[in-house]
Amino acid sequence: MLRVDAAPQKIVRKLIILQVMVTLIIAAVMWITMDGQAAYSAIIAGLICTVSNAYFGWKVFKYKGARAAKKFVVAFCIGELAKLFIQAALFVLAVLFLNIAIIPFLISYVINLMVLWLAPFINFKELN
């Protein structure tokens, strides 16, 4: 389970690093099993998730303490909306302007989303 005694910024940093590692593993598997374009597409999808999550983490976890609770809640809502907008915008730009293979792109995108879903079950202290 996720350890709540760790600083949120450290957890976000480790989560971003984990997403980059997962993206590189997916890209390597795509390269071996498919081709370079599939690996490139997997990297683009992973970057979309990673960049938007890094923004969210930066936006939300800059507030600490009970006095900043209201700021935290507002930042969380704005950060989540901004993250979704960033993902949507980058997703559309990637599909329209980059030469991507859509299936490897979507596979990488979904797996990167799953990293976030599984984050509460990851012991980030062991990922040093």
Cβ burial 85-113 (10 Å sphere, 16+ → b, else e) = ebbeebbeebeeeeebbeebbebbbebbe
Res 63: pLDDT: 66
Query: Which amino acid, 6?
Result: A
Walk along the chain (128 residues) in steps of 10 and give the mean pLDDT of each run: 58 87 96 95 95 87 70 85 94 93 95 87 64
